[in-house]
Structure 1
């Protein structure tokens, strides 16, 4: 996760620790094992459309069962399964830290009618009380600040999700 974060910073010509420096001394790394039982109504046991609360999510998909979809140009697109490959997704936190330079895709997971689907997701998060906002070098007169700073983005994102709100829209200035 640190290497991915540093690579993202270098791609924007930033100091490589620009994102990691906001995380504090005790960042959180969370692993989630997801099981999607077979169901003829794909939306029942899947995941509702959402943005990830992390800066970066690394996902190991099921080798045989598709289910992950991203919203692109107003249409849901299925992410193809590539056995033993990792899917790297940017979460809402990365969109805030990059002042909108990188986008966090709205995504969902659908179940398969006949097969159990599984995935393993790894999320990185800063210390809950660290205030996270756009990196200073990505804000100037040509590109004004788009997001206000926030503490505990994970909890904020979850609250918005429960209320049917978009956390990134709620943070827009």
Structure 2
């Protein structure tokens, strides 16, 4: 039977969770009940350029967990609150209004979900996916005009994320005793070529929350993902040493996730974590992920300075990681496994 493509928030109107959304034994990954909290230190972003101790904490978190939360990042709390609120307002609009921005076919951009390309059980998640940078690639027909400030708010928030991304890349290079521009020169073509996407996520409450998953276990195909979590409802979990850990909610922090392309660039030093989104039985949950993807014509591979006799090159070089992603779907493997070199 073909999977239903209805927005998830409409499905429970009938009071029943369709079997397409119920996890199979192949999908479900058992862990602690409930999982423990992730115990990495929170990074004071304002100190990264001046505190060796803060750089050490950043290195420790990203090389072991691949995930860390930053505070004092320079984005006012009022801006974060506004972005969260406009996300909620959009997903609460009448269906006919949201459908004005629906994705076309299997394309990511626009409103809907990605269940048409899922293998196995489906994700309990609706999304609004927008190409933010470069500006000439913005498809404004998918950018909501309701709420009325949506476009200007997203534009402002994206610019601030761009600045955070640049300092993070410099700081990560410094933790490896590289010149601070090393990752930027490898991964960042220019502002007219590199891609920044915004993915607004909505995870409706579900009475069978233990039997569905918001987003299946996966790794991000990005360089870095900057995630604004729900201010009140937990849901992000990361896998470490074959155990799931909950990522705590810190209301005005940003959560940083290492992407596959950064793991490749660092020759395996920084880890792209397997993570998933779980669903709450009583409360809706919202999040916004900013996804940085290099220019599709830029060759990505491990930095030469990180390839040594003791640590040989661990990953192939490639262009357009999206093609690797596509190749991985039938196999069920993580895309990064397809670019690993085995000796």
TM-score by length of 2: 0.49
SS across alignment from 1:64:
coil
Higher relative contact order, structure no. (Cα contacts within 8 Å, ≥ 6 residues apart)? 1
How much does 1:131 deviate? Answer: 1.1
Structure 1: distance between partners of 2:329 and 2:248: 26
How much does 1:78 deviate? Answer: 1.0
Contact 2:215 2:276 in 1 (8 A): yes
Please list the CA deviations of residues 17-73 of structure 1 after superposition, one character each: whole Å capped at 9, or x if unmatched.
211212322211111111100113336350011001111111110011111000111
Please list the CA deviations of residues 130-152 of structure 1 after superposition, one character each: whole Å capped at 9, or x if unmatched.
11000000001111000001111
Q: Find the counterpart in structure 1 of residue 215 from structure 2.
A: 47
SS across alignment from 2:256:
strand
Structure 1: distance between partners of 2:205 and 2:230: 13
Structure 2: distance between partners of 1:151 and 1:18: 18
Structure 2 counterparts to residues 79-90 of structure 1, below 5 A: 79-90=247-258
Contact 1:39 1:45 in 2 (8 A): no
Structure 2: distance between partners of 1:158 and 1:166: 11
Contact 1:71 1:107 in 2 (8 A): yes
2:278 corresponds to which of 110, 117, 121: 110
Higher strand share: 1
Please list the CA deviations of residues 116-171 of structure 1 after superposition, one character each: whole Å capped at 9, or x if unmatched.
10001111111012110000000011110000011111342354245311222211
Structure 2: distance between partners of 1:77 and 1:8: 24
Contact 2:225 2:256 in 1 (8 A): yes
> Aligned residues, how many?
173
Structure 2 counterparts to residues 68-147 of structure 1, below 5 A: 68-147=236-315
Q: Find the counterpart in structure 2 of residue 36 from structure 1.
A: 203
Contact 1:54 1:154 in 2 (8 A): no
Greater than 6 Å deviation, 4+ residue runs: none
Higher helix share: 2
Q: How well do the aligned residues superpose, as a CA RMSD in angstroms?
A: 1.4
Q: Find the counterpart in structure 1 of residue 325 from structure 2.
A: 157
TM-score by length of 1: 0.94
Structure 2: distance between partners of 1:158 and 1:102: 23
Which residues of structure 2 form unaligned runs of 5+?
1-164
Structure 2: distance between partners of 1:118 and 1:106: 20
SS across alignment from 2:182:
coil
Q: Of the two, which has the highest radius of gyration?
A: 2
